[in-house]
């Protein structure tokens, strides 16, 4: 009897091993087919075009235009797939030269002790569903000098936001990333370097979603350094990036669709789970002199300021008679809050919790801090200006 049970166990173990082998073979075939699909889709959407001379390089999971004069790509195009949610491939850190770049790429010595990160243009985390794709992301043709303050902070936040969008909506998106390059930019001068690698002052990222019935697109531009605002605050139009770079990013799209996409600056499509009803703070460059956005409020504690944003949540307390407003971000992510105490409500001709909800406003008063969040007490409706969106980009 005992021998029969032992044999049954061995038979089942062999069967499990056989199934594991079959699964590995199937996953390997699936990975190669998926890479073929990505490559065909990138070809279908078409490569960016510009007057600058670049070497077109096609890998399995990404394509890029390499500029030998700057020892980096002017653009790298890849796809972020919903498969990223089930990927478990770990970072390889196998930084190496790209053999497909005939003129040679930057190397380790060019970055070592330079003070700059080897910043991935197409992020490795977007490829964690494929060992082949993730390994390709470590070619030096996919690197550009980024200061740690950018690469490890807001740039990473933007990359995470894009992945969150893909995972939530299960949409495939095209992403084009690159530095804004010119001949007037400085080069890295670290000792032991072998190549002259240009140091960009700006980086861009473009997202195109052609899933479903609606095609959407948006762009972001960030300085190569500390970025003091939330990642979505750096949204701009694809048109603006084309002006900065001289690159036509989607030349194969129909003109009408291309024009519509490339003028968009709306970040609402990135309202992922947990952030519904929240919006990006107003771009500070769009505000009149003397007015600040909700992020800048934290740097002006103790001063009389005019803070602008959108009222995304309101609450009237029956117990205290006070009204509470949050601008741009709701509890528990609030970044700027307003209190209208019961006595001050008599100075309002309307119910602020009803009238102001969803409105874009500029509020003037003394900035204080409560538990680390900038707050303001408002005594009169004269301190609240309701503004419109007509002049927004």
| Active centre residues (catalytic) | 120
Q: Per DSSP, what are the bridge partners of residue 223?
A: 202
The closest of 49, 55, 45 to 79, measured between CA atoms, is: 45
Q: How far, in Å, CA of 41 to CA of 50, rounded?
A: 21
Handedness of CA 119, 120, 125, 126 (dihedral sign): positive
Cβ atoms of 383 and 365 within 8 Å: the answer is: yes
3-state secondary structure of 376: strand
Enclosing H/E stretch for 356: none
Residue-wise over 181-218: b if at least 16 C-beta within 10 A, else e? beeeeeebeeeebebebbbbebbbbbbbbbeeeeebbb
Three-state secondary structure call for residue 8: helix
For the record, the structure tokens of 388 come out as 């419109």
Quick check: 292 and 274 in contact, CB under 8 A? Answer: no
* Bridging pattern class, strands 72-80 and 62-67: antiparallel
Residues 6+ positions from 152 with CB-CB distance below 8 Å: 117
Pairing of strands 384-387, 373-377: unpaired
Distance (Å, rounded) from C-alpha 16 to C-alpha 23? 10
Q: Which residues pair with 377 in a beta bridge?
A: 339
Peptide bond into 26 cis (omega under 30): no
283 Cα distance to chain centroid? 16
């Amino acid at each position: 009897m005992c021998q029969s049970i032992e044999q049954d166990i061995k038979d089942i173990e062999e069967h499990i091993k056989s199934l594991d082998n079959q699964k590995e073979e199937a996953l390997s075939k699936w990975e190669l087919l998926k890479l073929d699909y990505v490559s065909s889709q990138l070809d279908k959407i078409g490569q960016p075009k510009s007057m600058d001379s670049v070497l077109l390089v096609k890998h399995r999971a990404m394509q890029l235009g390499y500029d030998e004069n700057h020892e980096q790509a002017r653009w790298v195009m890849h796809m972020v797939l919903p498969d990223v949610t089930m990927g478990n491939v770990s970072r390889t850190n196998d930084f190496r030269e790209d053999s497909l770049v005939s003129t040679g790429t930057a190397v380790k010595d060019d970055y070592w002790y330079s003070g700059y990160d080897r910043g991935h243009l197409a992020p490795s985390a977007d490829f964690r569903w494929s060992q082949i794709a993730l390994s390709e992301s470590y070619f030096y043709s996919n690197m550009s000098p980024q200061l740690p303050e950018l690469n490890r902070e807001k740039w990473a936040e933007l990359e995470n936001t894009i992945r969150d969008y893909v995972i939530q909506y299960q949409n495939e998106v095209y992403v084009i990333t690159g530095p804004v390059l010119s001949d007037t930019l400085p080069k890295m001068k670290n000792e032991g370097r072998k190549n002259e690698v240009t140091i960009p002052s700006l980086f861009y990222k473009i997202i195109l979603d052609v899933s479903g019935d609606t095609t959407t697109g948006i762009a972001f531009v960030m300085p190569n350094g500390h970025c003091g605002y939330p990642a979505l605050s750096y949204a701009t139009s694809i048109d603006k990036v084309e002006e900065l770079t001289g690159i036509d990013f989607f030349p194969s799209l129909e003109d009408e669709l291309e024009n519509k996409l490339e003028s968009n600056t709306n970040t609402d499509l990135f309202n992922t789970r947990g952030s519904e009803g929240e919006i990006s703070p107003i771009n500070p460059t769009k505000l009149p002199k003397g007015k600040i956005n909700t992020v800048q409020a934290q740097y002006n504690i103790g001063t009389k300021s005019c803070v602008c944003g959108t009222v995304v949540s309101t609450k009237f307390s029956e117990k205290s008679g006070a009204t509470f407003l949050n601008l741009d971000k709701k509890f528990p992510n609030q970044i700027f809050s307003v209190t209208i105490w019961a006595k001050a409500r008599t100075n309002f001709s309307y119910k602020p919790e009803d009238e102001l909800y969803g409105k874009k406003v500029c509020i003037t008063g003394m900035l204080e801090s409560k538990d680390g969040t900038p707050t303001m007490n408002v005594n009169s409706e004269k301190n609240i200006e309701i503004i419109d969106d007509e002049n927004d980009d």
